[in-house]
Amino acid sequence: MDSVDLQVLKSTSAWLHAGHHVVLATVTQTWGSSPRPPGAMLAVRDDGLVAGSVSGGCVEDDLIEKVRDRSLAVERPQTTIYGISKEEAQRFGLPCGGTLELVLEPVADVASIDGVLDSIARHELVARHLDMSTGVATLQAATRRDTLAFDGARFVSIHGPRWRVLLIGAGQLSKYVAQMAQALDYEVVVCDPRDEYAQTWDVPDTTLLRGMPDDVVVELDLDSHSAVVAVTHDPKLDDMALIEALKSPAFYVGALGSRLNTQKRRERLAQFDLSEDELSRLHGPVGLRIGSKTPPEIAVAIVAEMTAVRHGVALETVGDKSIDAQATDTVCAI
């Protein structure tokens, strides 16, 4: 399952190989309210066909028209700003007078796009450096700490799995969580030492590890762009991973189970070398309370809670964050 931006890059590559002229638009910064964040991309083909979005539909029609009549970004990259005035914001439908700046690149070298796609396929982070004066793009290795940067002369965009999630357990629920996480640009790693589950894992573009969960957590060297979700409902596996994950900088650590089982888990974990602050980081029962009953619905609840935490949303503002005990007990029976 491809993310929106990955689809943009794939479309750009395919169109260039087919002989089309393509302009790649990327949001570099926004002011006020804007539908898409910095880094969002839109590819416009010379005949007006598009992939992706930079404003949720507000300015795309204007960009398409200008690419078609070759009135901007013909030979060299350039910047453009939408919504700079109240009148323009209303004209282009930008909400609340929002303003966005775009880098528009007439892609001259398909090799740099293909290089980005190759790095993503290898689960590697890559930085694409665009020289605004020449239009030449080069690639360099990147880290999760690197971010989009633009100083007027050089534009640096970061591509690849900047976020990752480690799933403990390769059962049915994990497959749905994995697919949804991939759609949100996560690199998905699955850990399950049990043959009966590992042998049936079939989600493309994920990594399956067969080691013991605590060893895998340590080996992955989790950072603040990492999440851990334990869903085996087997304390011998889940607890091992949670002990190490709660001591890591991972931004989210969650575990499947009813309220009663979650309380018992907290009591077990308290017997190990975990501080009160570390224990308080555990999200359990895992997921937002949205009335989930089926594995796909519960996966939605889990990924939704991950997203809220990732964006710093206070969970109290979206209601009781835990899934019904009935819902978690249903999963445990799968």
CATH classification at residue 226 = 3.40.50.720
- Among the candidates 144, 159, 174, a domain finishes at 159
Q: How far apart are the first and last CA of the chain?
A: 24
**How confident is the model at residue 180, as a pLDDT?**
96
Dist. CA 70–CA 76, nearest whole Å: 12
Q: Specify whether the CB–CB gap between 146 and 179 falls below 8 A.
A: no
Q: Specify whether the CB–CB gap between 168 and 213 falls below 8 A.
A: yes
- Among the candidates 159, 181, 215, a domain finishes at 159
Q: Specify whether the CB–CB gap between 156 and 138 falls below 8 A.
A: no
Same domain assignment for residues 145 and 170: no
Angle between helices 295-310 and 325-332 (to 10 degrees): 120
Burial of 163 (C-beta count, 10 Å sphere; 0-12/13-18/19+): middle
**How confident is the model at residue 82, as a pLDDT?**
82
**How confident is the model at residue 239, as a pLDDT?**
95
Same domain assignment for residues 179 and 328: yes
Same domain assignment for residues 252 and 316: yes
**How confident is the model at residue 325, as a pLDDT?**
37
* Biggest alpha carbon–alpha carbon distance for the chain: 69
Same domain assignment for residues 33 and 138: yes
CA separation, residue 85 to residues 20, 32, 93, 99 (Å): 34, 12, 12, 8
Same domain assignment for residues 11 and 54: yes
> Is it the case that residue 166 has pLDDT exceeding 80?
yes
H/E stretch holding 39 reads none
144 pLDDT band (50/70/90 cuts)?
confident
Same domain assignment for residues 133 and 210: no
**How confident is the model at residue 63, as a pLDDT?**
86
Same domain assignment for residues 122 and 178: no
Q: What is the pLDDT of residues 241-277, one digit of tens each?
A: 999 999 999 999 999 998 999 999 999 999 998 999 9
Do the strands 22-31 and 99-106 form a parallel or antiparallel pair, or are they unpaired?
antiparallel
> Is it the case that residue 311 has pLDDT exceeding 80?
yes
**How confident is the model at residue 54, as a pLDDT?**
85
332 pLDDT band (50/70/90 cuts)?
very low
CA separation, residue 232 to residues 190, 201, 243 (Å): 11, 14, 15
Same domain assignment for residues 155 and 174: no
**How confident is the model at residue 4, as a pLDDT?**
72
Same domain assignment for residues 39 and 150: yes
Q: Specify whether the CB–CB gap between 154 and 131 falls below 8 A.
A: yes
Domain that holds residue 232: 163-332
Q: What is the pLDDT of residues 202-212, one digit of tens each?
A: 999 899 999 99
> Is it the case that residue 309 has pLDDT exceeding 70?
yes
Task: State what percent of residues in the chain have pLDDT above 70.
Answer: 87
Same domain assignment for residues 227 and 271: yes
38 pLDDT band (50/70/90 cuts)?
confident
- Among the candidates 113, 139, 159, a domain finishes at 159
Pick from 66, 49, 46, 59: which is nearest to 8 by CA? 49
Query: CB-based contacts of 162: which residues, under 8 Å, 6+ apart?
Result: 125, 144, 185, 225
Report how many domains make up the chain.
2
DSSP tag of 228: E
Dist. CA 87–CA 186, nearest whole Å: 38
Query: CB-based contacts of 113: which residues, under 8 Å, 6+ apart?
Result: 9, 12, 13, 16, 107
Q: What is the pLDDT of residues 107-135, one digit of tens each?
A: 988 999 999 999 988 878 899 999 999 99
DSSP tag of 35: S
**How confident is the model at residue 318, as a pLDDT?**
42
Average pLDDT in the chain: 86
Do the strands 50-52 and 99-106 form a parallel or antiparallel pair, or are they unpaired?
unpaired
**How confident is the model at residue 315, as a pLDDT?**
73
95 pLDDT band (50/70/90 cuts)?
low
Q: What is the pLDDT of residues 225-235, one digit of tens each?
A: 899 999 998 99
**How confident is the model at residue 93, as a pLDDT?**
56
Same domain assignment for residues 32 and 151: yes
Same domain assignment for residues 167 and 313: yes
Q: What is the pLDDT of residues 269-285, one digit of tens each?
A: 999 989 999 999 999 99
CB neighbours of residue 145 within 10 Å? 11
Average pLDDT for 48-65: 84
